[in-house]
């Protein structure tokens, strides 16, 4: 893709040998080579003759003559009002080893039921633009230097207060560390656990992909613990020998179940018994439909819980902003890991998010998004009931994904592969499983994980019909 440089673009590097003479010829030779080798691509704007002459310290007429020669040879095009641009030329022997850009066949946009992507068309960009502009106007000059290692204090104030108010947490500003998204915060926390003597962590099975890889890279042994209709099996957690556990209690990923009240109590008792720590991924608790929200585990026992939050699901992954709410015994280690590997998110963006949340714009967006997702969920449920049979879709109480239970005996991988050939992208439940060495995964019924956050209602209907055909379900 050609970059559309404004006003001729940045300076163009042309190396001249002034002792050799023939400066005009040198300019021509340099530009020919740059065009042939695709260092300057078709359509790219060249500097004006006046600007290039000033940059090279030569007479403007020398550059004008060079451009005219290249124009005559077909290397450049010149249009009034558009300046001088690189022409499209076929590959030549001089560019041997530089493969031409592949030409993609035009194909319809697939229906993508990928998990974890919010509706990117509803991201409140105008509000974000306002917040960034406001941040640049109000931040003192001193704030443009390095901020507190824990993150921008205003955002720490806001997200800790938000968590107390919305998620029934009990974290304070001093418990809060701002990070560049959930995964970065998780990486810092797991590295801290490993340095403090915890060597085994339990993960939900099925559960979010890649958590076992992140744990292993931090130096921890990851062990799977089954999930059932009440959430993580705490009895099996006790048998695992782990002193840490990472889970999604408000809306389990991917099954959609909430950790039951008795399991929550058992989990807290386990943490006390083993002097352990609970890592709580609170990834989409804001989107709830058919039940009252369950409070954060962090509010139940702040000494034993490290809670993670981000705006990847509520706003957009591109913002790369998140937070870790950690007890004092873990907080300093997390900050140290952050200082050693990353300064975190830019302070201007942190201030912008604080303003977005504090002024109510963030909450207004959540209310709008919740209604959009509720409508899509209802369409998905109705279409699945029609195309398959009632009761096949589970995990509907919250969030932006659900689990479609396939007919008995179906091969979920074959269904997913067939759907892909028909233009529908969907993950299998099996993609959320992992087997530790010597511990084979326990069998699960065949199912698909359907993310509906970034798929409109018409495409949801078409996608479900295609999935039914791929699964061999008769209309």
36 neighbors 1 (Cβ within 8 angstroms): no
Question: pLDDT value at position 444?
Answer: 78
142 and 247 both lie in a single domain: yes
75 and 165 both lie in a single domain: no
| 388 lies in some domain | yes
140 and 264 both lie in a single domain: yes
114 neighbors 463 (Cβ within 8 angstroms): no
Q: Give the total residue count for the chain.
A: 475
150: left (phi over 0), alpha (psi -120 to 50) or beta: alpha
User: What are the DSSP calls for 114-164, one per residue?
Assistant: -TT---GGG--HHHHHHHHHHHHHHS-GGGGS---TT--HHHHHHHHHHHH
User: CATH number, domain at 440?
Assistant: 3.90.1150.10
| 229 lies in some domain | yes
Of 343, 302, 344, 308, the C-alpha closest to 323 is 308
Residue 284 CB: number of other CB atoms within 10 A?
Answer: 22
| 311 lies in some domain | yes
343 and 434 both lie in a single domain: no
164 and 266 both lie in a single domain: yes
Question: pLDDT value at position 442?
Answer: 63
88 and 130 both lie in a single domain: no
368 and 317 both lie in a single domain: no
C-alpha span between 2 and 4 (Å, rounded): 6
Kindly state the DSSP code that residue 314 receives in the 8-state scheme: T
For the chain, the average pLDDT equals 88
The arithmetic mean of pLDDT across residues 120-135, rounded, is 94
| 268 lies in some domain | yes
Q: Which domain holds residue 403?
A: 112-119+363-470
Strands of 260-383, DSSP E: 277-281, 305-310, 322-325
User: What are the DSSP calls for 365-409, one per residue?
Assistant: HHHHHHHHHHHHHHHHHHHHHHHS-TT-EE--SBSSEEEEEPPTT
The residue from 309, 344, 360 where one domain ends is 360
pLDDT in tens, 164-211: 988 889 999 999 999 999 999 999 999 999 999 999 999 999 998 789
pTM: 0.81
| 145 lies in some domain | yes
The residue from 360, 393, 418 where one domain ends is 360
333 and 413 both lie in a single domain: no
Residue 186 CB: number of other CB atoms within 10 A?
Answer: 24
Q: Taking 50 as the threshold, does the pLDDT of residue 94 lie above it?
A: no
Question: pLDDT value at position 12?
Answer: 81
354 and 367 both lie in a single domain: no
pLDDT in tens, 29-54: 999 988 888 888 888 888 888 888 88
282 and 429 both lie in a single domain: no
187 and 215 both lie in a single domain: yes
**CA neighbours closer than 13 Å in the CB half-sphere of residue 311:** 28
The residue from 339, 360, 381 where one domain ends is 360
User: CATH number, domain at 39?
Assistant: 1.10.10.10
The arithmetic mean of pLDDT across residues 1-9, rounded, is 71
| 1 lies in some domain | no
* Poorest-pLDDT segment among 154-168, 282-296, 383-397: 282-296
372 and 452 both lie in a single domain: yes
Question: pLDDT value at position 22?
Answer: 87
| 38 lies in some domain | yes
How much of the chain, in percent, has pLDDT values that exceed 70?
Answer: 92
Q: Taking 60 as the threshold, does the pLDDT of residue 214 lie above it?
A: yes
pLDDT in tens, 448-459: 999 999 999 999
**H or E stretch covering 424:** strand 424-425
Question: pLDDT value at position 441?
Answer: 56
C-alpha span between 198 and 246 (Å, rounded): 13
| 100 lies in some domain | no
**CA neighbours closer than 13 Å in the CB half-sphere of residue 71:** 13
116 neighbors 210 (Cβ within 8 angstroms): no
User: How many domains is the chain built from?
Assistant: 3
């Amino acid at each position: 893709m050609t970059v559309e440089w404004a006003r001729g673009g940045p300076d163009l590097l042309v190396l001249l040998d002034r002792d050799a003479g023939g400066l005009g010829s040198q300019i021509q030779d340099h530009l020919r080579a740059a065009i042939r080798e695709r260092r300057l691509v078709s359509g790219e704007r060249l500097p004006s003759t006046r600007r290039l002459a000033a940059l090279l310290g030569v007479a403007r007429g020398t550059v004008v003559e060079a451009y005219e020669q290249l124009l005559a040879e077909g290397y450049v095009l010149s249009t009034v009002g558009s300046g001088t641009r690189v022409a499209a030329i076929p590959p030549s022997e001089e560019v041997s080893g530089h493969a031409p850009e592949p030409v993609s066949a035009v194909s319809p946009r697939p229906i993508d039921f990928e998990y974890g992507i919010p509706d990117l068309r509803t991201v409140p960009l105008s509000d974000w633009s306002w917040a960034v502009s406001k941040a640049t106007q109000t931040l003192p000059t001193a704030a443009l230097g390095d901020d507190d290692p824990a993150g921008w204090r205003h955002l720490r104030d806001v997200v800790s207060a938000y968590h107390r108010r919305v998620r029934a947490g009990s974290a304070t500003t001093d418990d809060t560390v701002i990070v560049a998204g959930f995964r970065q915060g998780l990486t810092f926390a797991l590295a801290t656990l490993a340095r403090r003597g915890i060597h085994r962590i339990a993960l939900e099975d099925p559960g979010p992909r890649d958590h076992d890889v992140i744990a292993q890279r931090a130096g921890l042994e990851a062990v799977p613990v089954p999930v059932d209709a009440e959430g993580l099996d705490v009895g099996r957690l006790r048998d695992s020998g782990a002193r840490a556990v990472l889970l999604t209690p408000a809306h389990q990923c991917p099954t959609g179940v909430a950790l039951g009240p008795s399991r929550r109590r058992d989990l807290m008792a386990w943490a006390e018994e083993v002097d352990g720590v609970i890592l709580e991924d609170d990834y989409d608790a804001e989107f709830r439909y058919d039940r009252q929200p369950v409070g954060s585990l962090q509010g139940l026992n702040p000494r034993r819980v490290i809670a993670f939050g981000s705006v990847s699901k509520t706003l957009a992954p591109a913002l790369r902003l998140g937070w870790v709410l950690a007890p004092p015994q873990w907080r300093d280690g997390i900050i140290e890991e952050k200082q050693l590997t990353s300064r975190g998110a830019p302070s201007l963006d942190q201030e912008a998010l604080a303003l977005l949340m504090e002024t109510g714009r963030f909450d207004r967006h959540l209310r709008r998004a919740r209604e959009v997702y509720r409508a899509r969920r209802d369409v998905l449920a109705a279409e699945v009931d029609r195309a398959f049979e009632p009761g096949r879709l589970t995990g509907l109480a919250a969030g932006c994904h659900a689990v479609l239970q396939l007919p008995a005996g179906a091969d979920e991988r074959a269904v997913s592969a067939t759907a892909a050939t028909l233009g529908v992208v969907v993950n299998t439940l099996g993609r959320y499983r992992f087997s530790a060495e010597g511990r084979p995964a326990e069998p699960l019924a065949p199912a698909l994980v359907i993310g509906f956050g970034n798929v409109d209602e018409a495409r949801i209907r078409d996608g479900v019909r295609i999935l039914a055909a791929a699964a061999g379900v008769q209309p």
